[in-house]
């Protein structure tokens, strides 16, 4: 696993409870951080000796390939931000290891019409190399976090078991989380990487429509873009979270689901909240969303890196968080009985529970559990494949059953279905 930040640390704490692997190497640019994660998991299970910490600079594919060969890794879990997707992805391909990530290669907006047309889309660089993975008989399982990841698995389950025809696969994410600062007053802190939040929320959101694909003669013709924060809607989230305003955001589900599932429309909307939207708009207006380095008193720094650096570390805010976060997909269309159906398949993560049981805040924990479940299915041979594949390319039931089954057989994390 490359990355021992919030998600990587939580993933290791979940994995230590399982017995399907022989060795789990935690690699990070900051060796001390990797060592801290390993020490925590070893302390949680007496006699645990499968975890090891190493240092790696994942910005170069050859570094990644050398580490894979050194530790003889069969699978690599990418748990760092999407800037490092391609060097890790290429390093795995070079060294012959299977690959998993939770965020895909970055997009590049259309120069003339960014809010109408796509250019380089999320994951395009990875899918372009799919034949190389097939020729090596290796798997790159992309987008296997919570969103993307669990949301895609819910969509596959809905297609296979609940719907005969799908109008829209609409991923909807919302929370009622509150962050209390050191002074005891409610403050602002991102639940995951602020760098990634800026990237996905200020990029043009992508939507896919079957009619456009049919008219254009290809799946790719179905993709188009909108301005950030488009099509606001109030979505009522379950388990006490309640109504949250959600807006269009660029996200991998829209680029993954149409490749394997049949729907007339695919969207992603995120419950950002008024405060986050205002902050993001201000960052954009001030140019603080830029990734281009500027010179400040003789030191080069990217404005976006500066913003991320001054905010609380998502890996450390758990004790100051209260509330729950919900991830899921709202599916509308025709049920198996031929009647109209509107169903929300979802998973809720409660910060009080994840802090108590894993010492991890709920957003990073909810992301981290899914690749660990997927790795167990791959180890057992329940899931298998070659090439660059998304989560919806695999049967959903084994994953959802393992996720929800009580410990120690399963992961003890139930999911729900809400008919609307």
Residue with tokens 């909807």, as numbered in its chain = 172
- Residue 103 · residue 252 · CB < 8 Å: yes
Sign of the C-alpha dihedral computed for residues 48, 54, 59 and 63 taken in this order: negative
pTM over 0.85: yes
Burial label for 241, CB within 10 Å (0-12, 13-18, 19+), is buried
List of E strands, 176-310: 178-180, 186-187, 206-209, 223-225, 233-237, 242-248, 265-270, 294-296, 299-301
Burial label for 275, CB within 10 Å (0-12, 13-18, 19+), is exposed
Neighbour-count burial for 74-105, b at 16+ CB within 10 Å, e otherwise: bbbbbbbbbbbbbbbbbbbbbbebbbbbbbbb
What does the pLDDT read at residue 274? Answer: 81
Planar angle of CA 345, 351, 356, nearest 5 degrees: 125
Which structural domains are found in the chain, ordered by start? 150-366+413-419 (3.30.360.10)
* Token code pair at residue 259: 């490749």
What does the pLDDT read at residue 275? Answer: 83
Q: Which residues contact 54 (CB under 8 A, 6 or more apart)?
A: 25, 26, 27, 31, 34, 67, 71
Q: From CA 316, how far away is CA 361, in angstroms rounded?
A: 8
Pairing, β 139-141 against β 387-389:
parallel
What does the pLDDT read at residue 216? Answer: 96
What does the pLDDT read at residue 385? Answer: 97
Q: From CA 101, how far away is CA 397, in angstroms rounded?
A: 21
Q: From CA 172, how far away is CA 161, in angstroms rounded?
A: 20
Instruction: For residue 73, give the nearest of 47, 55, 91 by alpha carbon.
Output: 91
Helix (H, G, I), strand (E, B) or coil at 137: coil
Q: From CA 6, how far away is CA 408, in angstroms rounded?
A: 24
Q: Which residues contact 39 (CB under 8 A, 6 or more apart)?
A: none
Burial label for 340, CB within 10 Å (0-12, 13-18, 19+), is exposed
- Residue 138 · residue 96 · CB < 8 Å: yes
Cα 14–chain centre separation: 16
Pairing, β 75-78 against β 223-225:
unpaired
Q: From CA 346, how far away is CA 357, in angstroms rounded?
A: 21
Q: What are phi and psi of 376, to 5 degrees?
A: -65, -40
Q: How far is CA 97 from CA 58, 75, 91, 318, 370, in A?
A: 15, 5, 8, 33, 19
- pLDDT, mean of each 10-residue run, the chain (420 residues): 96 98 98 97 95 97 98 97 96 98 96 96 98 98 97 98 98 92 79 84 95 97 96 95 94 98 97 86 92 91 91 83 95 98 98 96 96 98 98 98 98 97
Q: What are phi and psi of 52, to 5 degrees?
A: -140, 145
Planar angle of CA 13, 18, 22, nearest 5 degrees: 100
């Amino acid at each position: 696993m490359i990355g021992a930040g919030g998600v990587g640390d939580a993933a290791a704490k979940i994995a230590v409870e399982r017995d399907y692997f022989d060795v789990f190497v935690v690699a990070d640019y900051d060796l001390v951080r990797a060592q801290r994660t390993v020490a925590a998991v070893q302390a949680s299970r007496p006699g645990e000796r499968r975890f090891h910490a190493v240092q790696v600079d994942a910005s170069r594919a050859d570094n990644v390939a050398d580490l894979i060969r050194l530790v003889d890794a069969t699978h690599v879990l990418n748990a760092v931000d999407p800037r490092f997707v391609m060097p890790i992805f290429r390093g795995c391909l070079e060294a012959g290891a299977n690959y998993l990530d939770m965020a895909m290669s970055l997009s590049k907006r259309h120069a003339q019409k960014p809010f109408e047309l796509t250019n380089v889309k999320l994951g395009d660089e990875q899918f372009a190399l799919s034949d190389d993975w097939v020729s090596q008989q290796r798997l790159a399982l992309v987008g296997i976090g919570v969103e993307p990841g669990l949301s895609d698995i819910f969509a596959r389950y809905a297609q296979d078991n609940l719907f005969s025809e799908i109008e829209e696969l609409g991923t909807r994410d919302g929370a009622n989380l509150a962050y209390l600062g050191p002074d005891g007053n409610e403050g602002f802190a991102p639940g995951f990487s602020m760098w990634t939040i800026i990237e996905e929320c200020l990029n043009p959101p992508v939507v896919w429509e079957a009619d456009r694909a049919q008219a254009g003669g290809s799946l790719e013709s179905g993709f188009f873009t909108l301005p950030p924060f488009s099509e606001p809607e109030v979505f009522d989230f379950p388990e006490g979270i309640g109504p949250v305003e959600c807006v269009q955001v660029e996200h991998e589900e829209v680029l993954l689901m149409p490749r394997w599932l049949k729907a007339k429309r695919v969207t992603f909307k995120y419950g950002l909240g008024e405060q986050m939207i205002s902050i993001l708009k201000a960052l954009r207006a001030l140019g603080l969303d830029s990734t281009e380095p500027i010179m400040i008193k003789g030191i080069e720094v990217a404005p976006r890196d500066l913003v991320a650096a001054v905010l609380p570390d998502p890996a450390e805010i758990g004790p100051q968080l209260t509330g729950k976060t919900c991830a899921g997909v709202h599916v509308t269309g025709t049920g198996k009985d031929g009647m109209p159906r509107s169903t929300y398949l979802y998973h809720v993560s409660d910060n009080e529970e994840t802090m108590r049981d894993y010492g991890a805040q709920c957003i990073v924990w909810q992301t981290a559990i899914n690749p660990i479940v997927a790795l167990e299915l791959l180890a057992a041979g329940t899931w298998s494949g070659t090439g660059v594949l998304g989560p919806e390319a695999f049967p959903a039931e084994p994953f959802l059953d393992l996720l929800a089954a009580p410990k120690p057989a399963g992961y003890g994390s139930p999911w729900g279905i809400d008919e609307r």
